[in-house]
Structure 1
Amino acid sequence: MTTGQSDPGDHPAADQSEELGALLTRALAQADKTQKDLAVAANVPYTTLNHWVAGRRGTSRVDPDVFRGMAEVLRRWGADITVRQIFAAAGRAVPGPSDQEREARLLKIYRALSTDRQRDLIQIAESMGRPTAS
């Protein structure tokens, strides 16, 4: 997502801490849709979605836009779900919005670094994106 505006699904949820599988199952039932329907509409491989619902696959490396896309599809179908709920259920913080200016600035900084420093920056950024122990 490249807008600076907040996502309408980013408002805080009322302390809902469902597991991702339970949350998706509930939302699909509300929308009267199947996992296959969601996989196609959100452009997520069906087997991946099925593994998330069954709790057989983690989500730590999933691009945040995938979660945002699923929430958007489910909301469009009438499910009572927010982006924040999906991220919470996946054990992840909701990433802040980004904009093209900040992304361009970061890319300019990255390109000016030596190869070793680029690797360091990637490691730092990846560690910042990992969930913290609570």
Structure 2
Amino acid sequence: MHDSSYVTTGPNHPGDHARAAEDPAPTGEDLAALLARLLEETGDKTQKELAEAAGIKYPTLNAWMNRTRGTSRINPDDLRALGNVMRGWGVEVSPRTLFEAAGRPVPGPTDEEREQRLLDIYRQLPTQGQRALIQSAEAMLAGARAS
């Protein structure tokens, strides 16, 4: 669902053109506006190329860009993939910018050592403990999304 509190730039928002020209990374862009701007910065890449390179189905990406599908449940790995592709194409975008534009909580930095430790603990737990750990993690994630 599109949140009208986000500021977007483009032909449907003529008052934003001057600000957009002054600020190369406008704050408050929703994901559709951000991706459109980033694609424009690539010079010649298309939505289809972005979807393919990021491993996202084109109709899904197109729906996000046309604001016909909400972005609040986008898989964090998809947002990371979009950022990785854009950076690979020479366009600077931070993970934080993508997550904020999608209306998602910005995840903490990943650390392979901490992830491995968590996986090791999980594997040592009996089935009931594994389920409890998953429920705890899901509750923490829900709390982070709500804040």
TM-score bracket for the superposition, by shorter chain length: 0.7 to 0.9
Q: Counterparts of 1:24-103 in structure 2 under 5 Å?
A: 24-32=35-43, 33-55=45-67, 56-62=69-75, 64-103=76-115
Percent identical pairs in the alignment equals: 51
How far apart, CA to CA, are the structure 2 residues paired with 1:82 and 1:41?
A: 18
Q: Determine whether 1:20 maps to 2:36.
A: no
* CA–CA distance in structure 2, aligned partners of residues 38 and 133 of structure 1: 30
Q: Give the TM-score taking structure 1 as reference length.
A: 0.74
Alpha-carbon shift at residue 24 of structure 1 (Å)? 0.7
Q: CA deviation at 1:61?
A: 4.9
Query: Please, which runs of 5 or more residues in structure 1 have no aligned partner?
Result: 1-13
Greater RCO between the two (CA within 8 Å, min separation 6)?
A: 1
- Contact 1:48/1:57 (8 A) holds in 2: no
Q: What does the per-residue CA deviation read over 1:63-110, in whole Å, with 9 as the maximum and x for residues that have no partner?
A: x33222211221332434222110101112332223332222212221
Range that drifts further, 38-47 or 98-107:
98-107
User: Relative to structure 1, is the Cα distance of residues 54 and 98 closer, same or farther in structure 2, using a 3 angstrom cutoff?
Assistant: same
**Equivalent position SS for 1:132:** helix
Distance in 2 (CA, whole Å) between partners of 1:123 and 1:90 is 25
Aligned residues: 120
* Structure with greater Cα Rg: 2
State the TM-score, normalized to the length of structure 2. Answer: 0.68
**C-alpha RMSD of the superposition:** 2.2
Q: Answer whether contact 2:38 2:86 (CA < 8 A) is retained.
A: yes
SS in 2 for 1:98: coil
